[in-house]
């Protein structure tokens, strides 16, 4: 490879010990191990590995590999005021560092630690502020071109590109004896560079005759060709000559499409042969983009017209549209949420704030999670839903709704829908109701379409891909939960108050979020693509949009997001048998129970984990047998509780003996949990209505009759 002993020692290179791959089942050995230090030169726990042809056995990649996203390798510790030279790989970096020597040099050579995209450090704005100049020493290979484009999207300063003699690589130059002066001259003579502009969506063959591939898009909120689209309604006023009566002012509403570069596009019906039916006519925007149907603006559009027109004017004049950066917007969103509700896990506020801002660019993502706000009655679920709807993209808060009603609502809102107190999602057997089915398929762009009959009898294809928030007490079935990110709510503890007083101008904040989305959608995509290509599970798939937003935000947002996601996964992943054991242990040890009424056991399990979907009384009875909590020979007693017959299971003596403690109380009556106390004083009051429907009403009716 041409590396000197001093270079091997300087970069602490060595051979990796053999290790067995769980994926391939093969043992990889004798790969070159590369420690990846932090930019300041200090050691880190990051490692990359290089394939040595003829030496390495069973390499994981033809060139190199590492865990997770690549990081930036540097030829020396990074200091301000240097020139950054980006090269394709570590071999180029090592050989150039040999040319410069170990003495201080104004040029810092850098490359990704291993193939797989841009280095993680590039996502941090502060990284680019370190350099006086950035020179790309990259060629025309596809991976190097993509790396250059990523640098252009991230860098806050103008880029230059080194022009290599005879298209040679840096390794070729060093091996041919290039000196440090010659390399510096190449860097100094680098020419200004910018990536090629995105191709126009107008088909190149649009003026040709023949048959071509038809792939129209749904334009509402679409992200096409690196540009975000927003459907708007404008009132057009003009004077019309009315003959002797003179000119009169006339007005009408027109639907147009605002593109993120500031252009307002019209919808056109392209010329067609005589007799062409309406459904076969080709619709296109004025830039040539083919669309599936005439765009209809959302009825709950939250971007105010004045702010939108300022954005258009700024784009037309070449000014950067005025908006604050993402971290400051997120801070205001979080402050507004904190003024609305108290949450037991403070890290969940980071998840909610990132989710709200991600709604404005949700069309950039292949999949977008459903947010589950879960908690007992009176814990602030509706207040939190209202706060989210006030700030999110075209937000709308709705209560009870049917499946057909949800279909119409999603088609008309074209934005964020908050489904408040949607207990039916958890109550359906296996979640087979219409609403559950819509939610299950609509988290992903590829599956979020549904064929529906139109009002005129024609079949319509409707798109349900949009941000959705569901709040309830009972949770959902496991299949639906796998598409959700859960946030738990609890009543505000006594003596505590909300951490923020509010005062955020929500309408102005929403306008800023729209402008930020129009300006930053390509940055969001650049942060999202490496994450989406590396997903290994559905939980990673639905978390990728929020992780991309956290990468762009920087700071502690990513740490707080991961803390929240880990807690949410723990709540949702608790096995039902473990939840049953936990509830039984508490009822036996703290309640002294030897016989259990089924409503009591279900209420205890719901109080322990409001997210978990609970099985029927018959299934719980079988689970008690499987856990050894009761004997099959024991008789199942049936008694009336407030007029309804319920099952009472007698617990096995040895099972009770193992779980009782010294201060366990005497055996209570199985119905003591719901008799002799007022509902407001009952510990199960927050989960009673969802877990034991009708119990409260029957009890109150009996008490009134008595």
The per-residue pLDDT for range 634-654, each reduced to its tens digit, is 888 999 998 899 999 999 999
- pLDDT value at 198 more than 50: no
Give me the pLDDT at residue 170, please.
92
Give me the pLDDT at residue 358, please.
95
Give me the pLDDT at residue 572, please.
57
pLDDT band of 437, cuts 50, 70, 90: confident
Give me the pLDDT at residue 452, please.
63
Would residue 381 count as lying in a domain? yes
Higher pLDDT, 542 or 500: 542
SS3 251: strand
> Percent of the chain at pLDDT above 90?
28
Which range among 102-111, 283-292, 316-325, 473-482 shows the weakest confidence by mean pLDDT?
473-482
- pLDDT value at 424 more than 60: no
Judgement on whether residues 33 and 167 belong to the same structural domain of the protein: yes
Would residue 618 count as lying in a domain? yes
Q: What is the mean pLDDT of residues 234-258?
A: 72
Predicted TM-score (pTM) of the model is 0.58
Predicted confidence (pLDDT) per residue in 599-622, tens digit: 999 898 888 776 566 778 888 889
Residue where a domain stops, chosen among 155, 174, 193: 193
Structure tokens at 305: 């017209």
Residue whose structure tokens are 């390499």: 59
- pLDDT value at 202 more than 60: no
Residues 6+ apart with CB under 8 A from 562: none
Judgement on whether residues 91 and 74 belong to the same structural domain of the protein: yes
Judgement on whether residues 620 and 553 belong to the same structural domain of the protein: no
Would residue 317 count as lying in a domain? no
Q: Which secondary structure element, helix H or strand E, spans residue 181, and what is its range?
A: helix 180-188
Judgement on whether residues 484 and 375 belong to the same structural domain of the protein: yes
Give the chain's mean pLDDT.
83
- pLDDT value at 472 more than 70: yes
We report the CATH number of the domain holding residue 392 as 3.40.50.300
Which range among 283-287, 297-301, 434-438 shows the weakest confidence by mean pLDDT?
297-301
Judgement on whether residues 241 and 366 belong to the same structural domain of the protein: no
Q: What is the mean pLDDT of residues 288-315?
A: 79
Judgement on whether residues 425 and 408 belong to the same structural domain of the protein: yes
Which range among 238-252, 261-275, 322-336 shows the weakest confidence by mean pLDDT?
238-252
We report the CATH number of the domain holding residue 131 as 3.40.1360.10
Judgement on whether residues 105 and 61 belong to the same structural domain of the protein: yes
- pLDDT value at 119 more than 50: yes
395/417 Cα distance (integer angstroms): 6
Name the burial class of residue 294, with classes exposed (0-12), middle (13-18) and buried (19+) by CB atoms within 10 angstroms of its CB. exposed
Higher pLDDT, 60 or 530: 530
pLDDT band of 196, cuts 50, 70, 90: low
Q: What is the mean pLDDT of residues 14-23?
A: 81
Question: Domain range spanning residue 172?
Answer: 5-193
The total domain count for the chain is: 4
Residue whose structure tokens are 């005062």: 503
pLDDT band of 209, cuts 50, 70, 90: low
Higher pLDDT, 560 or 431: 560
Would residue 307 count as lying in a domain? no
- pLDDT value at 501 more than 90: no
- pLDDT value at 110 more than 90: yes
Q: 38-54: b or e for each residue (b if 16 or more CB lie within 10 Å)?
A: ebeeeeeebebbbbeee
SS3 518: helix
CB contact at 8 A, 498 and 359: no
pLDDT band of 660, cuts 50, 70, 90: confident
pLDDT band of 427, cuts 50, 70, 90: very low
- pLDDT value at 34 more than 90: yes
Residues 6+ apart with CB under 8 A from 57: 27, 28, 29, 30
CA contacts within 13 A on the Cβ side of 566 = 7
Q: Where are the beta strands (DSSP E) in 260-414?
A: 264-265, 267-269, 283-285, 290-291, 370-374, 396-398
- pLDDT value at 462 more than 90: no
683/679 Cα distance (integer angstroms): 8
Higher pLDDT, 89 or 693: 89
SS3 544: helix
Residue where a domain stops, chosen among 280, 297, 314: 297
Structure tokens at 541: 């798939």
Dihedral, CA of residue 694, residue 697, residue 700 and residue 706, to nearest 10: -80
CB contact at 8 A, 392 and 301: no
Judgement on whether residues 277 and 338 belong to the same structural domain of the protein: no
Beta partners for 111?
73
Give me the pLDDT at residue 426, please.
41
Would residue 218 count as lying in a domain? no
88/705 Cα distance (integer angstroms): 83
Judgement on whether residues 668 and 695 belong to the same structural domain of the protein: yes
Give me the pLDDT at residue 608, please.
79
420/423 Cα distance (integer angstroms): 9
Would residue 205 count as lying in a domain? no
Residue whose structure tokens are 């420690």: 35
Judgement on whether residues 346 and 275 belong to the same structural domain of the protein: no
CB contact at 8 A, 435 and 470: no
Give me the pLDDT at residue 650, please.
92
**What letter would DSSP give residue 379?**
S
Residues 6+ apart with CB under 8 A from 521: 223, 226, 227, 228, 260, 361, 364
Would residue 673 count as lying in a domain? yes
Predicted confidence (pLDDT) per residue in 322-376, tens digit: 788 999 999 999 999 999 999 888 999 999 999 999 999 999 999 999 999 988 7
- pLDDT value at 469 more than 60: yes
Judgement on whether residues 411 and 512 belong to the same structural domain of the protein: yes
Would residue 303 count as lying in a domain? no
Q: What is the mean pLDDT of residues 126-144?
A: 86
Alpha carbon distances (Å) from 230 to 220, 364, 414, 473: 6, 13, 10, 35
Residue where a domain stops, chosen among 193, 209, 243: 193
Q: What is the largest CA-CA distance in the chain?
A: 103
Name the burial class of residue 128, with classes exposed (0-12), middle (13-18) and buried (19+) by CB atoms within 10 angstroms of its CB. middle
CB contact at 8 A, 13 and 49: no
Give me the pLDDT at residue 610, please.
61
Judgement on whether residues 334 and 247 belong to the same structural domain of the protein: no
251/235 Cα distance (integer angstroms): 7
């Amino acid at each position: 490879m041409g590396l000197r002993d001093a270079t091997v020692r300087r970069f602490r290179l060595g051979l990796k010990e053999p290790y067995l791959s769980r994926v391939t089942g093969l043992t990889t050995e004798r790969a070159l191990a590369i420690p990846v230090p932090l930019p300041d030169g200090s050691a880190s726990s990051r490692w990359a590995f290089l394939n040595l042809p003829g030496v390495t056995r069973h390499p994981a990649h033809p060139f190199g590999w590492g865990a997770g996203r690549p990081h930036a390798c540097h030829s020396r510790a990074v200091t301000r005021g240097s020139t950054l030279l980006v090269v394709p790989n570590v071999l180029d970096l090592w050989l150039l560092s040999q040319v410069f020597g170990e003495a201080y040099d104004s040029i810092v050579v850098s490359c990704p630690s291993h193939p797989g995209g841009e280095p993680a450090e590039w996502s941090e704005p502060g990284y680019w502020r370190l350099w006086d100049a950035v020179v790309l020493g990259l060629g025309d290979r596809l991976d190097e071109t993509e790396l250059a484009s990523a640098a252009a999207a991230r860098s806050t300063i103008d880029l230059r590109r080194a022009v290599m003699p005879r298209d040679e690589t840096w390794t070729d130059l060093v091996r041919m004896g290039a000196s440090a002066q010659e390399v510096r001259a190449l860097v100094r003579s680098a020419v200004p560079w910018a990536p090629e502009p995105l191709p126009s969506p107008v088909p190149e063959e649009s003026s040709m005759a023949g048959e071509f591939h038809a792939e129209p898009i749904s334009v509402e909120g679409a992200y096409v060709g690196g540009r975000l689209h927003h459907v708007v309604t404008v009132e057009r006023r003009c004077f019309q000559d009315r003959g002797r009566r003179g000119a009169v002012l006339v007005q009408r509403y027109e639907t147009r499409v605002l593109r993120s570069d500031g252009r307002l596009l019209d919808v056109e019906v392209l010329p067609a042969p005589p007799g062409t039916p309406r459904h076969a006519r080709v619709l296109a925007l004025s830039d040539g983009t083919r669309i599936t149907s005439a765009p209809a603006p959302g009825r709950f559009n939250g971007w105010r017209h004045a702010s939108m027109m300022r954005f258009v004017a700024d784009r037309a004049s070449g000014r950067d549209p005025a908006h604050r950066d993402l971290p400051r917007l997120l801070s205001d969103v979080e402050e507004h949420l904190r003024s609305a509700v108290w949450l037991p896990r403070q890290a969940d506020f980071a998840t909610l704030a990132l989710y709200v801002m991600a709604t404005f660019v949700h069309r950039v993502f292949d999949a977008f999670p459903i947010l589950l706000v879960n908690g007992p009655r009176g814990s602030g679920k509706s207040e939190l839903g209202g706060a989210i709807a006030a700030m999110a993209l075209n937000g709308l808060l709705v209560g009870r709704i049917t499946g057909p009603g949800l279909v119409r609502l999603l088609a008309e809102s074209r934005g964020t829908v908050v489904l408040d107190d949607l207990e039916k999602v958890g109550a359906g057997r296996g979640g087979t109701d219409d609403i559950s089915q819509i939610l299950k398929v609509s988290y992903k762009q590829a599956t979020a379409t549904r064929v529906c009959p139109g009002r005129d009898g024609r079949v319509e294809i409707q798109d349900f891909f949009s941000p959705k928030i569901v709040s309830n007490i009972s949770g959902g079935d496991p299949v639906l939960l796998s598409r959700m990110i859960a946030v738990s709510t609890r009543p505000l503890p006594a003596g505590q108050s909300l951490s923020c007083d509010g005062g955020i101008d929500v309408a102005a904040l929403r306008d800023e979020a729209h402008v930020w989305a129009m300006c930053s959608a390509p940055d969001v995509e650049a942060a999202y693509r490496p994450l989406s290509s590396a997903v290994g599970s559905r939980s990673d798939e639905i978390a990728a949009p929020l992780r991309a937003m956290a990468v762009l935000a920087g700071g502690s947002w990513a740490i707080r997001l991961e803390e929240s996601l880990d807690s949410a996964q723990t709540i949702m992943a608790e096995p039902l048998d473990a939840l049953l054991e936990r509830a039984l242990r508490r009822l036996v040890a703290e309640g002294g129970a030897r016989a259990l009424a089924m409503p009591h056991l279900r209420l205890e399990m719901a109080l322990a984990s409001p997210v978990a979907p609970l099985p029927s009384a018959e299934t719980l009875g079988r689970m008690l047998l499987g856990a050894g909590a009761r004997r099959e020979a024991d008789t199942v007693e049936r008694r009336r509780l407030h007029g309804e017959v319920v099952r009472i299971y007698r617990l096995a003596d040895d099972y009770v003996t193992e779980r009782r403690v010294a201060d366990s109380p005497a055996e209570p009556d199985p119905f003591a949990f719901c008799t002799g106390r007022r509902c407001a004083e009952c510990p199960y009051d927050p989960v009673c209505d969802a877990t034991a429907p009708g119990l409260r009403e029957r009890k109150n009716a009996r008490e009134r009759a008595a």
